[in-house]
Each structure stands twice: as C-alpha cells, then as structure tokens.
Amino acid sequence: MIGFYDYTVILTYMGLFSSIFGITQVLDGHGKIALVCLAFSGLCDMFDGKVARSKRNRTDDEKLFGIQIDSLCDLICFGILPIAIGYSHGIRGPLGFIILAYYGVCGLIRLAYFNVLETNKLLVENDGSNCYHGLPITSIAIILPVIYIFKFVVTQKVFTLILAVAMLVVGTMFIVDFSIKKPGKRGNIAMILCGVLAIAYIVVFSRCL
C-alpha cells in the first residue's frame, strides 16, 4: 500500500471525515450540523501537528507526506465545506459564484504557498517561525460559526450579504502577506471556547424559534 499509516495522521483524517459528512449535511439541508462538523474539523487541525511532532523518529518522507496530507485535507475542510455552506445560504448567481470561487482560489493559493514554506523549512532543518504569513485558512472554522449568529437577528437577505462580504474579505486575507503570531496554549483555549460558545448559541437559539 502506498502512503504512510501511523497515529500521526489520525486527527487529520478525522477532520476530513467530519467535513465530508458536513458536506452531505449541507446537501440534505442541515446547515447547523454542517457548522458543527466545520468546527470539529478545526479542532482536529489545531492538534494534529502536535500529534505528528510527537513521533520523534519520523523520516523526511513521512514529514513531507504529512505536509501534503494536511493541506489537501484543509482544502476540503476549510475550502470546500465553507463554500458549500455559503452556497446553501444564498450566495448564488454570477456574483455569488465569483465570490465563492475567489474564496476557493485564495484558499488553494495559501495552502500551496504554505507547502512551499514548510518544505523549505524541512530542507534547511528549520523548526519554523512563531508567526503565520496571512490569515490561516483554518480560521474559517471559528469565523463562520460566529458570523452565523447574525442569521437570528437580521433578515435572510442581509445575512446572505454579510456572509458573502465575510467570505470575500477572509479569502483576501488568506493571500495578503502580513504576520500573525501563532497562538500559544491560552490562545488555543480562547479559540476553542469561542467556537464552542458560537455553536452552542446557534443550537440553543434555533431550538427556541
């Protein structure tokens, strides 16, 4: 069998499975479940790198395989799934297609550039910097649930406009070169809490309607 099979890729694949399930839920009209899947994929991505680095005897081929697998899964989890969610909530027509396609292309460019940087770091035996270049594509796992809260306080037309503008802006921030310090333990906890609270609000509030 081709590829590498060990515990270092388990979380990455779990995130992928979650997002694929989320896409099927979008097709079935269950947008809230899709958001939960997106958030769960983001949680898996937050820790898959730490799990991978815990294996100290990884070969260069295993590391390169991990870089490629991570980005390929990210394209589905944080590229395709958000596009499907956006389309299901009214981002349609010629302009809507351009916005969704633009978001997808920006995400793809960012992930390809990330692969180049990570490969170069591996070749020079550099552990990497403590900053991101541009907005990480995984940030949509928190941004989208937070934006979804507006669905309960504005009209559908206004919500669609907010969502479309957000995807346009977030996509642009994927490819704009600015530095963001990588979050530490407290930052990760804060992001997890933010995502959990947003999802909890969406679930609870939607049941009250």
- Give the pLDDT of residue 206: 62
Distance of CA 40 to the CA centre of its chain: 10
Residue 4: pLDDT band (50, 70, 90) is confident
What average pLDDT does the segment 61-77 reach?
A: 91
HSE toward the beta carbon, residue 21, CA cutoff 13 A: 15
Nearest 5°: CA angle at 134, between 65 and 104? 70
Count of C-beta atoms within a 10 Å radius of residue 185: 7
Residue 128 has pLDDT above 70, yes or no: no
Fold of 7-208: Four Helix Bundle (Hemerythrin (Met), subunit A) (1.20.120)
The yes-or-no verdict on residue 125 having pLDDT over 60 is no
Phi, psi (degrees; rounded to nearest 5) at 54: -70, -20
Hey, CA dihedral for 157, 198, 44, 121, is it positive or negative?
A: positive
Report the percent of the chain where pLDDT is more than 70. 94
pLDDT tens for each residue of 110-124: 999 989 988 887 766
pTM beyond 0.75: the answer is yes
Q: Which tokens sit at 118? A: 């990570």
Hey, which of 28-37, 119-128, 163-172 has the most confident mean pLDDT? 163-172
The pLDDT-based confidence of 209 (bands split at 50, 70, 90) is very low
Looking at residue 129, its pLDDT comes to: 64
pLDDT higher for 192 or 164?
164
* C-alpha triplet 110, 143, 96: angle, nearest 5°: 70
Lowest mean pLDDT among 11-15, 42-46, 174-178, 189-193: 189-193
46, two tokens: 């937050």
Average pLDDT over residues 72-97: 96
Q: Which whole number is the average pLDDT over 55-71?
A: 87
CA atoms within 13 A on the CB side of 38: 33
Average pLDDT for the chain: 88
Domain spans in the chain, listed from the N-terminal domain onward: 7-208
What is the SS3 assignment for 180? strand
